[in-house]
């Protein structure tokens, strides 16, 4: 197998190649080629861009990227690897400079390829609060990619959730920037440990779009951008060493990010010191002309993007080939901008070992993309991400009796997967093609989980239509049962073909279609209802929390999601997931974040409630945990670290995992500060009666914010600290005083809280 491990760039190697290139050879190195067919719509407005030339013609002058070699249609991985090696050998032997292409793929929930392992969606990573496991997942994904000759993965998504109506919420990790930053950085480290470059998406602001609409303008102020939207990217670049960044589609205050040098150059490169490549989101350069209207034509768009700092146009060369060549020759675009981008592209290839690769070795002849280890990681992450929202004691199920399994997502494999899973992203466009991986639906898994029970099932309705013809059968099955497990939620797809996913935004946060009516009909039977939500976003289900016997939330838990949910329902798995995003009460209260200032919550100044149905961090267990005796350093300098310790005890009868959450509130600030801010967290496993002491070392920079002059600072003053089962539960608390002068925070600041766990004796 051709080596793809990152290697140090040799001084002058890329510069020497650049000096030999014609303009056409330069432009070839900063574009991709996508071999796609009609109907394979896996990118926005893809049909507007039609390749005029085949691959043989496109690579006459070389090629920068090969786009989605494995991820565009269902292909046998071994056969496709043989094709890829042949194409790479051709580039080495038959082009003047002999430079192979860099191959990129989507890898948000695993390598997006047929028969590859599919892990839980990123919102489930957030629910797990388990950075180490996310690191392992990233490494396993990277190993599969490297085996197949893939060099760059288009993940993770580091957009902070701002509005659950936005369709791409399932691709995001959390509404908390620190959770996004820590888990996202761990994914980067895992993926890049296998020699595959990670690509941070979508830099920056994409999730803050107006009214939760895809591509809509972003009206965030500079402080929100700096203090909420940017920190996860800063962590992944400075602490994770991410080697690629993808520019966002959106505009912030009227300026498209793909044409904004203050973001892509001044901040990313000059301030943060990023030395990798910036790639355009698919067709994002052309969109400067077609959608934003800030460029007169494709050549103008190319010049603006290059000047801003977009090095590579993906997925094809609609702007960076003929239009850019004409603009350079006419003098409208300085060729030095092209040279800058080409040099970065060549240095990336050199880091990946591509400038020395010959591809004379044989491609893999046997590939297992869904190994037992993949399954173990997927299963554990799925289990850790299941959130028990409410429970009157009905769960866990006792094992025997009559169990009704009802609902549109109960026996539908697609319901376990997010928008960027291969199953929903690609196979959906190829009817009749099997999934290629073993999948147990919730119904199948629960039937196996409860062998002594009589399990009857009825779909009741579809995910998103108004057909109620199945209600009667569902009611009949529920009425005859001891308990009804009702599985509802989303169908992930693209551009309006689903209820969640890219381009599948919502006006409301009610369950799609007639699913709530189905739940109401089953509740009316008097049979206890366990509501299972298989969704890609949080829905407004406060009514269900009050009336159902139990409510279980899962965010697209992946290929092992069925057994994970069934295990929680049976009690084989003790639920330990926690909400990485607030559970909304209504769409009218959006956008909402738990990081709001005092006036962002409930109060006497408005007649409407702002607070969510359940807070950030909430999650129940079949055991109970006590958090006691929080103690912290009384006085800490503004440039120091806050030491805090809390005793955690499993006070129940079952072993279980607790996510210990440390929150802070800066009581007085020169600008308004959030009423709660997560400053540290740690998942701990405890046996019944076992106690541990969890110690946090919190850098004061975790409390930094942009002051009135937009300088990042830590101010002196009093800070409340507390530990509890969610952001608004003050189980044990203390106060710390930050002393000394206002402390300006630079990029060399410590961004990570150190957490240690020791036995309490």
Place of tokens 């839980």: 120
Residues 595 and 632 in one domain: no
Residues 643 and 687 in one domain: yes
Q: Is residue 619 part of a domain?
A: no
DSSP 8-state secondary structure symbol assigned to residue 259: G
Residue 487: CATH number of its domain: 3.40.50.1700
Residues 586 and 695 in one domain: no
Nearest residue to 510 via CA among 470, 537, 472: 537
Residues 551 and 417 in one domain: yes
**The residue count for the chain:** 761
Q: Are 714 and 701 in contact (CB under 8 A)?
A: yes
Neighbours of 717 (CB within 10 A): 17
Residues 223 and 333 in one domain: yes
CA angle 406, 412, 418 (to 5 degrees): 120
Q: Is residue 426 part of a domain?
A: yes
Instruction: Report how far residue 493's alpha carbon sits from residue 424's, in angstroms, rounded to the nearest whole number.
Output: 6
Q: Is residue 2 part of a domain?
A: no
Q: What is the dihedral of CA 120, 121, 123, 129, to 10 degrees?
A: 40
Place of tokens 């085949």: 54
Neighbours of 438 (CB within 10 A): 9
Q: Specify the number of domains making up the chain.
A: 3
Rg (CA), the chain: 26
- The CA-atom distances, in angstroms, between 294 and each of 28, 78, 286 are 25, 44, 11
Residues 119 and 180 in one domain: yes
Nearest residue to 297 via CA among 339, 326, 338: 326
> For residues 678-691, b (16+ Cβ closer than 10 Å) or e, as one string?
bbbbbbbebeeeee
Residue 152: CATH number of its domain: 3.20.20.300
- pTM of the complete model: 0.96
Q: Cβ-count burial of 631 within 10 angstroms (0-12 exposed, 13-18 middle, 19+ buried)? A: middle
372-385 vs 131-147: helix axis angle to the nearest 10?
Answer: 150
489 is in which domain, residue-wise?
386-600
Nearest residue to 398 via CA among 453, 350, 346: 453
Q: Cβ-count burial of 612 within 10 angstroms (0-12 exposed, 13-18 middle, 19+ buried)? A: buried
Residues linked to residue 277 through DSSP beta bridges, in sequence order: 244
Q: Is residue 6 part of a domain?
A: no
Residues 540 and 687 in one domain: no
Structure tokens at 309: 């700092």
Residues 595 and 664 in one domain: no
Q: Is residue 379 part of a domain?
A: no
What residues have CB less than 8 Å from 610, skipping those under 6 apart?
Answer: 589, 592, 596, 600, 601, 602
Residues 110 and 147 in one domain: yes
Residues 151 and 25 in one domain: yes
* Domain termination residue (choose one: 565, 600, 635): 600
CA angle 202, 206, 211 (to 5 degrees): 160
Instruction: Report how far residue 626's alpha carbon sits from residue 153's, in angstroms, rounded to the nearest whole number.
Output: 41
Instruction: Report how far residue 105's alpha carbon sits from residue 327's, in angstroms, rounded to the nearest whole number.
Output: 30
Q: Is residue 372 part of a domain?
A: no
* Domain termination residue (choose one: 312, 341, 356): 356
Nearest residue to 550 via CA among 579, 582, 528: 528
Residues 635 and 588 in one domain: no
For residue 561, the SS3 value is helix
Structure tokens at 164: 């659950």
Q: Are 647 and 684 in contact (CB under 8 A)?
A: no
**How does strand 635-637 pair with strand 732-739?**
parallel
Residues 143 and 252 in one domain: yes
* Domain termination residue (choose one: 600, 615, 647): 600
> For residues 131-143, b (16+ Cβ closer than 10 Å) or e, as one string?
bebbbbbbbbbbb
**How does strand 732-739 pair with strand 717-724?**
antiparallel
End-to-end CA distance of the chain: 51
What pLDDT is recorded for position 5? 41
Q: Is residue 612 part of a domain?
A: no
Running along the chain, 761 residues long, what does each successive block of 10 average in pLDDT? 43 90 98 80 59 72 97 97 97 97 98 98 98 98 98 98 97 98 98 98 97 95 97 98 98 97 98 98 98 98 98 97 98 98 98 96 96 98 98 94 98 97 95 96 98 97 98 98 98 96 96 98 98 98 97 98 98 98 93 94 86 97 98 98 98 98 98 98 98 98 97 98 97 98 96 96 73
Q: Cβ-count burial of 431 within 10 angstroms (0-12 exposed, 13-18 middle, 19+ buried)? A: exposed
Residue 258 CB-half CA count within 13 A: 35
DSSP 8-state secondary structure symbol assigned to residue 662: E
Residue 704: CATH number of its domain: 2.60.40.10
Nearest residue to 532 via CA among 505, 503, 554, 504: 554
Q: Is residue 367 part of a domain?
A: no
CA–centroid distance for 36 within its chain: 26
């Amino acid at each position: 197998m051709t080596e793809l491990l990152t290697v140090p760039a040799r001084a002058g190697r890329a510069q020497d190649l650049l000096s030999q290139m014609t303009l056409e050879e330069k432009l070839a190195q900063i574009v991709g080629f996508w071999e796609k067919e009609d109907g394979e719509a896996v990118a926005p407005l893809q049909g507007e861009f039609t390749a005029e030339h085949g691959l043989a013609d496109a690579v006459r002058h070389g090629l920068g990227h090969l786009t989605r070699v494995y991820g565009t249609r269902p292909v046998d991985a071994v056969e496709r690897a043989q094709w890829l090696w042949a194409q790479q050998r051709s580039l080495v032997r038959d082009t003047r400079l002999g430079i192979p292409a860099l191959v990129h793929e989507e890898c948000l929930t695993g390598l997006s390829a047929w028969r590859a392992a599919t892990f839980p969606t990123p919102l489930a990573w957030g629910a797990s609060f388990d950075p180490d496991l996310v690191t392992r997942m990233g490494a396993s994904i990277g190993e599969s990619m490297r085996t197949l000759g893939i060099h760059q993965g288009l993940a993770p998504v580091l957009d902070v959730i701002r509005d659950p109506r936005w369709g791409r919420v399932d691709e995001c990790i959390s509404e908390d920037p620190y959770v996004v930053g820590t888990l996202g950085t761990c994914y980067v480290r895992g993926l890049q440990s296998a020699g595959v470059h990670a690509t941070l998406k979508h830099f920056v602001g994409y999730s803050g779009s107006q009214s939760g609409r895809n591509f809509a303008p972003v009206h965030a102020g500079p402080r929100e951008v700096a203090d909420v939207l940017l920190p996860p990217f800063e962590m992944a670049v400075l602490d994770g060493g991410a080697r690629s960044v993808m520019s966002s589609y959106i505009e912030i205050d009227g300026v498209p990010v793909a044409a904004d040098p203050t973001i892509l150059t001044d901040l990313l490169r000059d301030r943060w010191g990023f030395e990798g490549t910036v790639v355009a989101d698919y067709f994002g350069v052309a969109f400067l002309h077609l959608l934003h209207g800030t460029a007169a034509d494709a050549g103008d768009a190319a010049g603006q993007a290059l000047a801003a700092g977009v090095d590579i146009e993906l997925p094809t060369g609609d702007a960076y080939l003929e239009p850019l060549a004409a603009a350079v020759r006419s003098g409208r675009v300085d060729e030095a901008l092209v040279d800058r981008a080409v040099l970065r592209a060549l240095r990336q290839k050199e880091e990946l070992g591509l400038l020395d690769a010959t591809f004379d070795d044989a491609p893999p002849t046997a590939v297992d993309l869904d190994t037992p280890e993949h399954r173990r990681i997927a299963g554990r992450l799925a289990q850790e991400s299941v959130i028990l929202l409410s429970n009157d004691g009905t769960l866990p199920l006792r094992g025997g009796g009559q169990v009704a399994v009802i609902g549109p997502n109960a026996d539908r494999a697609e319901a376990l997967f997010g928008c960027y899973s291969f199953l929903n992203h690609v196979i959906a466009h190829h009817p009749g093609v099997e999934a290629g991986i073993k999948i147990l639906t919730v119904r199948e898994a629960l039937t196996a989980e409860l062998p002594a029970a009589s399990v009857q099932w009825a779909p009741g309705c579809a995910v998103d239509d108004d057909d109620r013809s199945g209600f009667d059968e569902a009611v009949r099955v529920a009425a005859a049962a001891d308990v009804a497990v009702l599985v509802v939620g989303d169908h992930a797809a693209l551009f309006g073909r689903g209820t969640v996913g890219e381009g599948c935004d919502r006006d409301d946060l009610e369950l799609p279609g007639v699913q709530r009516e189905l739940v109401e009909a089953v509740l009316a039977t008097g049979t206890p209802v366990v509501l299972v939500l298989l969704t890609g976003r949080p829905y407004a289900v406060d009514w269900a929390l009050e009336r159902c016997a139990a409510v279980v939330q899962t965010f697209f838990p992946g290929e092992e999601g069925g057994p994970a949910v069934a295990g929680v329902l049976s009690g084989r798995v003790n639920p330990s997931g926690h909400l990485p995003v607030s559970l909304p009460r209504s769409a009218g209260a959006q956008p909402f974040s738990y990081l709001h200032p005092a006036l962002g919550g409930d109060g006497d100044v408005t007649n409407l409630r702002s607070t969510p149905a359940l807070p950030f961090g909430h999650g129940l267990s079949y055991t109970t945990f006590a958090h006691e005796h929080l103690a912290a350093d009384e006085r800490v300098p503004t440039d120091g670290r806050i030491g805090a310790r809390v005793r955690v005890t499993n006070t129940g009868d079952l072993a279980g995992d607790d996510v210990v959450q440390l929150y802070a509130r800066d009581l007085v600030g020169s600008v308004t500060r959030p009423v709660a801010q997560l400053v540290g967290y740690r998942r701990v496993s405890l046996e019944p009666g076992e106690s541990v002491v969890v110690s946090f070392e919190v850098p004061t920079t975790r409390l930094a914010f942009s002051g009135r002059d937009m300088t990042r600072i830590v101010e002196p003053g009093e800070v409340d600290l507390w530990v509890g089962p969610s952001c608004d539960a003050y189980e044990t608390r203390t106060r710390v005083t930050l002393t000394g002068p206002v402390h300006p925070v630079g990029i060399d600041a410590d961004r990570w809280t150190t957490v240690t766990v020791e036995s309490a004796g």
